Amino acid sequence: MELSNQILEHHIVLTTRSFSIKLRQSGFTLIEMMITVTIMMLMVGGGIAAYMNFNEKQLVISDAQKLQTILRQAQKKARSGDRPEACQTANLPLTGYAVRMAADSGVVRIVSRCNNADSQTVTETLSTRVTAEETFNIEFKVLNQGVSGAGNITITDGVRRYQFSVGTGGQVEKGNFL
């Protein structure tokens, strides 16, 4: 009987110990949960900030590419001698195509030039927050006669600045952030 009491007491002690161990391992404390949630919130917040910065940077790149495309279209029309209807009607020679943008403006004007005078204007608009830092007027002369106003063009969204260049031969170079 004494042996059975010892076994019974030992069994109760073992079950009590294993039961208490199971209770301790069955969940997380409030502090552990709060630390985990805080770390997760910091990671999500950092991810959102990085995504917004990436998105705004892509907007500037997209507008720079749009402006480069506009410049290349004007260059192509000038090189091919594509006379607009206004030049043909007035029987004036085409002298070139100009691309103009005022400082702090997102409006780009493509102007056909007949007999060294403005003839016909097409307007394109960049995104609402992207503007030119300085006014530029680049004219592509007819039939590969060169470019006037060649140089660097910088556009900005107020935080980021993107610069590319138009060479004297008319080449529109890919740019970079400054």
Residue 94: other Cβ atoms inside 10 A: 22
Domain chopping of the chain, boundaries: 47-177
pLDDT given at position 144: 81
Is the pTM higher than 0.85? no
Across the 178 residues of the chain, what is the mean pLDDT of every consecutive 10-residue run?
52 50 67 94 93 92 94 93 87 93 93 89 88 94 90 93 93 92
Q: Do residues 132 and 99 touch, judged by C-beta distance below 8 A?
A: no
DSSP 70-131: HHHHHHHHHHHT---HHHHHHT--EEEEEEEE-BT--EEEEEEEETTEEEEEEEEE--TT-E
CATH class of 47-177: alpha beta
pLDDT given at position 9: 53
pLDDT given at position 25: 59
